[in-house]
Amino acid sequence: MPPPTGHRPTWAEIDLDNLAFNFHSVKTFVGSEVEYMAVVKANAYGHGSVECSRRLESEGVDWFAVALPEEGIALRNAGISRPILCLGGFWPGQEKQLFEFDLTPVVFIPEHAEMLNAAAYAAGVTKAIHVKFDTGMGRVGVRSEEVKEFASRLVAFSNLKVDGLMTHFAVADKLAENEFTNQQISRFQHAVSIFNDHGFHPKYLDMANSPGAVAHPYSRGNLVRLGGVLYGLGGDVLPQEIPLPVLKPLMSLKSQVAMVKDVPLGETIGYGRTFLTKRDSRIATIPIGYHDGLSRALSNVGSFIINGCMAPIVGRISMDWTTIDVTDVPDVCVGSEVTIIGSQGEATIKAEDIALNLNTISYEVTCSIDSRVPRVYVPN
């Protein structure tokens, strides 16, 4: 696919058919006994929340999850009608937006529940919420020893309806840590029983993230949250020792050669003079840099694909440009297409490969692709 016209020739192609394939692949693997929540926070992990949500809604996803009310509002403004859960809850002053845009907040702070109940009372409505327990993630959520007190306080908030209870796994992707995951499940079940004892009987019990849904069938409850697997990012966030659903990557990151130059033996390339040519070389300059989300840590480490061949990054990646050594690549010229993530001929670079070089995960790689890199969706 050619780059967008009238724009710097650096772009990300997002395959929405692969998004649909991944959803149905995981759904077939997990089963139809549960409902499915698509996690589209952080611009759908860099893939475009509006476009991905529209396709997933048409494919039958039951829920969407965002981090912030602002992300949920953007989906509503784009016409998304399915329930939307705000995983990060809300901030004081955002209560009215939850009503206006029909967003369901996750609640784990008593004062926030009190504020939301007051707003619901003033509006003359009852607001559905999900309550999150911290069963071992150590991040946000009601701690196990505080569940009883939290439930007791919620009883007094008659304008709130506890529609769901949830938690989040810390190591569901590591089978060697199953004992800890099982402990989290046990803590969750105990917290649910406390809420039941206080008269709460929520519709949804929600524990499983992507690795939980795939690797721990007993954790699925009746609602699972699918994040990275929807975008084909399972290679470094799912345990590889067990059967897995077939996944296809969505994102291909591409550019074109802006300049090719001959550089003799013994010259340096880029800031800091970190690369010295060890032979007469051909160097191609590519219009993508660390502001676009190409980490500077890939300098002199990563590679691009050009004309079906791997070409190493040489010198430091700068804000807007990257230089690669194409001495061994035939027929490189201005306008030659370059693949940063994706496949060209027999060569492939996955987001997981880049993540391995950066000592991170593929989620960070795709989330980091900046908004100045246009997303081009196929099919349109």
Q: What is the CATH number of the domain that holds 277?
A: 2.40.37.10
350 is catalytic: no
Asked if residue 119 and residue 176 are part of one domain, the reply reads yes
Please list the pLDDT of the chain residue by residue as tens digits (380 residues).
777 788 899 999 999 999 999 999 999 999 999 999 999 999 999 999 999 999 999 999 999 999 999 999 999 999 999 999 999 999 999 999 999 999 999 999 999 999 999 999 999 999 999 999 999 999 999 999 999 999 999 999 999 999 999 999 999 999 999 999 999 999 999 999 999 999 999 999 999 999 999 999 999 999 999 999 999 998 999 999 999 999 999 999 999 999 999 999 999 999 999 999 999 999 999 999 999 999 999 999 999 999 999 999 999 999 999 999 999 999 999 999 999 999 999 999 999 999 999 999 999 999 999 999 999 999 86
The CATH number linked to 87 is 3.20.20.10
Q: Which of 96, 218, 261, 271 is catalytic?
A: 271
Q: How many residues in total does the chain contain?
A: 380
The answer on 176 and 133 residing in a single domain is yes
Phi-psi region of 293 (alpha: psi -120 to 50; beta: other; left: phi over 0): left
Indicate the pTM of the whole model. 0.95
Catalytic pick among 41, 132, 254, 350 = 41
Residue 161 annotated to the active site = no
Does 6 reside within a domain? no
- Domain encompassing residue 284: 251-349
Task: Residue 17: count other Cβ atoms within 10 Å of its Cβ.
Answer: 12
CA distances from 267 to 78, 262, 283, 325 (A): 52, 11, 11, 13
Distance (Å, rounded) from C-alpha 207 to C-alpha 249? Answer: 25
Domain annotation covers residue 378: no
Of 15, 34, 18, 23, whose CA–CA distance to 227 is shortest?
Answer: 23
Clarify whether residues 162 and 220 are in a common domain.
yes
Structural domain count, the chain: 2
Q: Is residue 244 part of a domain?
A: no
